[in-house]
Structure 1
Amino acid sequence: MSRWLTEAVPRGRVAAFRTLIYLFVAADLVIFTPWVRTRVSVPGDMYQPLLIGRLLPLPTPTSALVAVLFWSLLVLALLAATGRAPRLLGWTVCALYLEWMIIAMSYGKVDHDRFGLLVALAVLPTAGRARHGDTTRTEAGGWALRVTQIAVVCTYFLAAWAKLRFGGLDWLTGSVLARAIIRRGTDLADVIAHVPYLLIVAQFGIVAFELLSPVVFLLPARWRLAMVGFFYSFHAITIATITISFAPHLAAMTSFLPLERVRPLVWARRLVGRRAPDASDSTSQEPADAGAAEPVGAGAAPEPVSAGAAAEPLGDQAPALGRPAGP
């Protein structure tokens, strides 16, 4: 079990995953959860902190607190994405983002798609230093990725457990997806909704897929990637039909992927380096090509001219040119 939990992975994979996660945190602040900053306009007595917020305890958010939290987290997440000071910046970003999520989820709604991302932020500082493109393997980095993978799969499995726990078997045969389509469905969802019993079949399929999600750990590497691809396709359909993105969950799920193979900076350098020699070669070859003597005939080298023949006057060469030799 311990060998499976600490299966070594290339350090380049850890570096790529770290950069992706911290860049997503920065994007989350300005794209997905900027509405957290508006929570300060809500009366303080409506703030009902989560259990962790009551245990610590954390203060009731104010405009000053949220502003400092936002700008500090944005700057530090961008710095952490560079891979510098992985432990110091990593733990700091983890603590600040946890507070950001506690504020976001303490007003009546808790999103379960943040679980994998929060676990990734908690374990990444333990992975140590890692450079992009480094092929040396690390067990510490493998543990960080494995724990994140477990959190991703638990998100699916526990979601199915919650459906059956609170909704019972009626969740499978009810109108859950129909209500979702009415509230936030797209044109594609409207087309699907008109197919008899398709939504009921989809609800059975969703619960089955979530309950069977742990199987991903039992598959060979190639089939495991195929199943992760199915996970992503499921969320693509969800976005296309009921406009729910699960973006934090999708970011954490990249822990399954061989991210060390995706190296945009290296590709860009190679592309630029390939173009530069081509341009210099064409420039350096132009003078040589312009001054080169053209071949004689079908490519045969010209006959060498002796010194004596070169010194003879034109008149002495006249017979050879087919003119009379005399005056």
Structure 2
Amino acid sequence: MTGWLTEAVPRGRIAAFRTLIYLFVAADLVVFTPWVRTRASVPGELYQPLLVGRLLPLPTPTPTVVAVIFWGLLLAALLAATGRAPRLLGWTVCALYLEWMIIAMSYGKVDHDRFGLLVALAVLPTAGRARHGDTTRTEAGGWALRVTQIAVICTYFLAAFAKLRFGGLDWLTGSVLARAIIRRGTDLADLIAQVPYLLIIAQFGIVAFELLSPVVFLLPARWRLAMVGFFYSFHVVTIATITISFAPHLAAMTSFLPLERVRPLVWARRLAGREPRTPTTEPAVPAPDVDAGPPPSEAQAPVVGRPAGP
């Protein structure tokens, strides 16, 4: 079990995963959750912190508190994406993003698609230094990726558990997807909804897929990547039908992928024609000695065996 948890991975994979996660945090602030900044204008008595917010001495959101967290987190995430000071910047991003999520989710709604991302931010600082393209293997980095993978799969499995716990079997045979399509469905969803019983079949399929998601850890590498591809395709369909993205979850799920093969800077250099030339095996031609003057011409060269004088 310990060997499975700490299965060594290339450091280049850690470097790529770290850059992707921290860049996503920066994008999350300005693209996906900029609405959190509006919490600063909400009366403080409406702030009902989550359990972790009640256990920790965290301040009630105010315009100053929210602004400091936003700008501090944005700067720290961009710096952490470079791979420098992985522990200092990593722990800083983890703490600030956790507070950002506590503020976001303490007003009546909690999104479960953030769990894998939060775990990734908590374990990345323990992976140590890593450079893009480094093929040296690291067990610490392997542990960080494995824990993130477990969090991703728990998101699926526990979602099914919650459906059956609170909705019972009625969740499978009810109108859950129909209500979602009415609220935020697309034209594609409207076409699917016209097929008899297809939404009921889809609800059974969703719960079955979520309950069986831990099987991904039992598959060989090639089939594991295929199943992760199915996970991504499921979310593509979800976005295309009911416009729910699960973007943080999708970012954390890249922990399953061989990210060390993704080298955008190298590819850009190749496209620009700036890839370093490979050394040749031809012997180098020595440069001429400029101080020795020009070589004697054939007319100036002495004739061997010719007597001197007239």
Q: Is the 8 A contact 2:8 2:142 kept in 1?
A: yes
- Distance in 2 separating the partners of 1:272 and 1:58: 50
- Distance in 1 separating the partners of 2:273 and 2:84: 27
Alpha-carbon distance, 1:275 to partner = 8.4
Unaligned runs of 5+ in 1: 278-327
- Distance in 2 separating the partners of 1:256 and 1:58: 34
Structure 2 residue identity aligned to 1:140 = A
- Distance in 2 separating the partners of 1:198 and 1:271: 47
Deviation string for 1:241-278 (max 9, x for gaps)?
0000000000000000000000010111223236898x
| Corresponding residue for residue 102 of structure 2 | 102
| Corresponding residue for residue 10 of structure 2 | 10
Moved over 6 A (4+): none
- Distance in 2 separating the partners of 1:28 and 1:213: 26
Q: Does 1:119 align with 2:119?
A: yes
TM-score between the two structures when normalised by the length of structure 2: 0.88
- Distance in 2 separating the partners of 1:141 and 1:269: 28
- Distance in 1 separating the partners of 2:118 and 2:111: 12
Q: Does 1:169 align with 2:169?
A: yes
Alpha-carbon distance, 1:35 to partner = 0.2
Q: Does 1:71 align with 2:71?
A: yes
Deviation string for 1:78-127 (max 9, x for gaps)?
00000000000000000000000000000000000000000000000000
- Distance in 1 separating the partners of 2:142 and 2:86: 16
Q: What does 1:246-265 correspond to in 2, within 5 Å?
A: 246-265=246-265
Alpha-carbon distance, 1:57 to partner = 2.3
Q: Is the 8 A contact 2:269 2:275 kept in 1?
A: no
Alpha-carbon distance, 1:40 to partner = 1.4
Aligned to 1:123, the other structure's residue is in SS state helix
| Corresponding residue for residue 138 of structure 1 | 138
- Distance in 2 separating the partners of 1:29 and 1:269: 30
Alpha-carbon distance, 1:59 to partner = 1.1
| Corresponding residue for residue 81 of structure 1 | 81
Alpha-carbon distance, 1:41 to partner = 1.4
- Distance in 1 separating the partners of 2:161 and 2:114: 17
| Corresponding residue for residue 191 of structure 1 | 191
Change (3 A) 1:167 1:102: same
| Corresponding residue for residue 223 of structure 1 | 223
Q: Does 1:178 align with 2:170?
A: no
Deviation string for 1:161-208 (max 9, x for gaps)?
000000000000000000000000000000000100000000000000
Structure 2 residue identity aligned to 1:187 = D
Aligned to 1:83, the other structure's residue is in SS state coil
Q: Percent identity?
A: 91
Structure 1 residue identity aligned to 2:184 = R
| Corresponding residue for residue 150 of structure 1 | 150
- Distance in 1 separating the partners of 2:276 and 2:100: 47
- Distance in 1 separating the partners of 2:201 and 2:271: 49
| Corresponding residue for residue 212 of structure 2 | 212
Q: Is the 8 A contact 2:115 2:151 kept in 1?
A: yes
Q: Is the 8 A contact 2:113 2:155 kept in 1?
A: yes
- Distance in 2 separating the partners of 1:275 and 1:224: 34
| Corresponding residue for residue 62 of structure 2 | 62
Aligned to 1:208, the other structure's residue is in SS state helix
Deviation string for 1:27-82 (max 9, x for gaps)?
00000000000011111111000000000121110000000100000001000000
Higher helix share: 1
Structure 2 residue identity aligned to 1:69 = I
Aligned to 1:238, the other structure's residue is in SS state helix
| Corresponding residue for residue 50 of structure 2 | 50
Change (3 A) 1:147 1:275: closer
Change (3 A) 1:56 1:274: closer
Worse-superposed segment, 162-171 or 261-270: 261-270
Computing the radius of gyration from Cα coordinates, the structure with the larger value is 1
- Distance in 2 separating the partners of 1:250 and 1:271: 29
